[in-house]
Amino acid sequence: MHDTHQFLSALAVVLCIAALTTVVFQRLRQPVILGYILAGLIIGPHVPFPLVADSSIVQTLSETGVILVMFSLGLEFSLRKLASVGPSATLTALVETSLMMWIGFNVAQLFGWTTVESLFTGAVLAISSTTIVAKAFQEQKVTGRLREKVVGVLIVEDLIAILLLATLTAVASGSGLTAGPLTIMVAKLAGFLVALISLGLLIVPRAMRMIIQLNRPETIIVSSVGICFASALLAQAFGYSVALGAFIAGSLIAESGEEKKVEKLVEPVRDIFAAVFFVSVGMLIDPKQVVQFWPAILVLTLVVVVGKVVGVSFGSFLTGSRLRTSIQSGMSLAQIGEFSFIIAGLGLTLDATGSFLYPVAIVVSALTTLTTPWLIRASDPVASWVDRTLPRPIQTFSVLYGSWIEKLRTTPRSQGTVSKIRRMLVLLSIDAALFAAIFTGLSAFSGHLIDLAHEHIGLPPLVAWPLLILAGMFLVAPFVFGVVQLGRKLGTTLAELVLPTSGGNRVDLADAPRRLLEITLEIAIVVIIGAPLVVITRPFLPAGEASVLLLVLIVALGIAFWRSATNLQGHVRAGSEVIVAALAKQSRSGGESSAQKDLRQVEQLLPGLGSLTAVRLASTSPAIGKTLSELNLRALTGASVLAITRDEGPVVTPTAQETLHAGDVLALTGTREAINAARKQLG
């Protein structure tokens, strides 16, 4: 036990040094979290400063900080908020976290770290920092669709982090990576979560509403923190992390609808103990280990920045966000933070990882935290540069794809179509689950099966091992085939909702865009189903067979995608010529409503060209005298100019160097949101 003097001494040193460093960091306009970490380094045992706080006392206090930080995150997360996130952010987070866990695991393996250390490394790299992003957005006044998208992804990432904490706790506590105990562990975890959340939903929201009606702040904060610590203690009693229990307590209180009042009252207490937590993080940094593992730090920092930008951008675009918003989202989320500290600390506490992983994670977080404001500021010019440098077929596709996804969301569906889609999704999930179960099962029992083959048949291990691999491939082949076939059917079904086939013997004028949409949806389905599968099976498959299989499928679909994107250019050019004729007719008749009517007819004649709109440039338009490249309309708004009509003659599929003049009539395509933004841009 610590005496009172030691406790007060440690707390005074921690808070005073933290106060000084955070003032300095605020003056430098840097995140205060880095100031706390620096304070921990100064008073820690690894740096020769005269001020040294008692590590065990600080660690005890930091546990309180973890609980209150996770409780506050839970207050910002509720079932209502999760429902409002929507499928786009959910699928984006799933793709990005799967990619980061896979890359992190493989990089750790290349450094020679153990399988469990590699799992923790992947989990550390997977989750972005809600605290850092919120602070950066506040300072740079980021609002609108970008903020909504990023916050939605962060909410889903927080939920994934909680599941990772629970799973890694069980793995590191002795369940290991064998299939049988791991299955039992997952079942127990699911049962615990269902029981705690179900019971909590019956009691906690009602109780909090009654307590808040008393209108006594001290009663509200004591009750809230009491529920938080009780839930954390309950989770620990069942062998899970206290962070899991605290997060669930916060989300249960959030269901009362009074989370803002509770959050406001808890915030000062949370900030004090959160500061202690981040100081304790800094105290564990050993500069010698940082120097020793600097190659790993640099590589993992690069992996976080590049991997998250690519993962979030790709996932966001596939789920229907504009290219610009997707890239900005990816560059906003290119960091790790508080969850990474907690996950790395969990591995250290349970002796599942070496002492090196924690300081490595902290330094990677510090470096990515420093780069985050710069990346957010640079996201606009980077998005514009990417848009300009993409091949013309991809530029055209990026504009039209958003309008196709928008139409997919708004198109009415019959009950039969809904049932068909739901049935295919269920079958896809079953095939994917059986694929994972067979692979992991064979891996778990491979040694036993090889021994049996040697004892009963006389096969030497060098022969039995490749035969076992072939048998496994034979067993999973039907399920791989099933995933591919169901993915194709689902892609075709969804594409036909957007671009129906022509009936009878008529020429199918929507064939080119529909084929491209089908392939893109197939890629999305393969990535969304395959990425988590690769992560689940990777620890059981040293050679990464599932990763290779997924890569082969993506490359094959990518080749088909490029061919279809090239074919789409011909479809768009034909559409542009028809549009020019329609706009010329409008110019002769002088009626803009007539032009819009003609453009609607063009949409019916050549489907897949998006929401076509005619915009005439007034003499006061800021776009006059600028080239399309200077205007940068597609990158800034998501709308594209398909054709221009003017007195000198029409311009079909104008180039980036085309200069705009007063009186020009532009044929724009894109989503409704993109068209509205383009109208404002054109004045």
Do 298 and 183 share a domain, yes or no? yes
Do 334 and 294 share a domain, yes or no? yes
Do 566 and 579 share a domain, yes or no? no
Positions of the chain with pLDDT lower than 50, given as ranges: 1
Cβ atoms of 181 and 114 closer than 8 Å:
no
Instruction: Tokens 């045992």: give the residue.
Output: 45
d(CA 349, CA 196): 25
Four-CA torsion 207, 236, 55, 335, nearest 10 degrees: -80
Which domain range does residue 659 map to? 574-682
Do 245 and 376 share a domain, yes or no? yes
Say which DSSP state 653 is in: S
Residue 290 token pair: 């940082």
Say which DSSP state 78 is in: -
Say which DSSP state 665 is in: E
The number of distinct structural domains making up the chain is 3
Which one of 527, 547, 570 terminates a domain? Answer: 570
In Å, how far are 29, 438, 457, 542, 545 from 463, measured between CA atoms?
63, 21, 11, 18, 19
Cβ atoms of 663 and 646 closer than 8 Å:
yes
Residue 304's pLDDT is what? 93
- Which DSSP string corresponds to 263-310? HHHHHHHHHHHHHHHHHHHHHT--HHHHHHTHHHHHHHHHHHHHHHHH
Residue 55's pLDDT is what? 67
Residue 164's pLDDT is what? 83
In Å, how far are 126, 169, 316, 515 from 89, measured between CA atoms?
15, 27, 7, 26
d(CA 400, CA 397): 5
Report which secondary-structure segment, H or E, holds 666: strand 665-669
Residue 444 token pair: 């778990």
Do 260 and 380 share a domain, yes or no? yes
Do 120 and 209 share a domain, yes or no? yes
SS3 627: strand
Do 436 and 377 share a domain, yes or no? no
**What angle (nearest 5°) sits at the alpha carbon of residue 542, between those of residues 537 and 544?**
60
CATH code of 608's domain: 3.30.70.1450
CB atoms within 10 A of CB 472: 18
Do 651 and 521 share a domain, yes or no? no
d(CA 398, CA 322): 8
Helix, strand, coil percentages (3-state) for the chain, rounded to 5, are 80, 5, 20
Residue 424 token pair: 């295919």
Do 45 and 126 share a domain, yes or no? yes
d(CA 63, CA 341): 12
d(CA 263, CA 268): 9
From the list 367, 322, 321, 328, the residue with the least C-alpha distance to 140 is 328
Residue 80's pLDDT is what? 65
d(CA 667, CA 576): 8
Do 402 and 360 share a domain, yes or no? no
From the list 62, 73, 67, 23, the residue with the least C-alpha distance to 40 is 62
Residue 301's pLDDT is what? 93
d(CA 599, CA 581): 10
Predicted structure pTM score: 0.81
CB-facing half-sphere around the CA of 529: CA atoms within 13 A: 32
Cα 87 to chain center, whole Å?
Answer: 12
In sequence order, which ranges of 114-216 are alpha helices (DSSP H)?
Answer: 115-126, 130-140, 144-170, 179-213
Instruction: Tokens 């671009």: give the residue.
Output: 499
Instruction: Tokens 């129906």: give the residue.
Output: 500
Sheet holding 651-652, edge to edge: 613-616, 665-669, 640-645, 651-652
pLDDT (tens digit, 9 = 90+) per residue, 53-74?
A: 666 777 777 777 778 877 877 7
Do 654 and 565 share a domain, yes or no? no
Secondary structure of 307-359 as H, E, C letters: HHHHHHHHHHHHCCCCHHHHHHHHHHCCCCCHHHHHHHHHHHHCCCCCCCHHH
d(CA 431, CA 481): 9
CATH code of 308's domain: 1.20.1530.20
Which one of 570, 586, 605 terminates a domain? Answer: 570
Phi, psi of 642 (to 5 degrees): -90, -30
Four-CA torsion 100, 386, 575, 681, nearest 10 degrees: 110
Which one of 389, 416, 445 terminates a domain? Answer: 389
SS3 376: helix
From the list 82, 83, 159, the residue with the least C-alpha distance to 127 is 159
Do 511 and 620 share a domain, yes or no? no
N-to-C CA span, the chain = 72
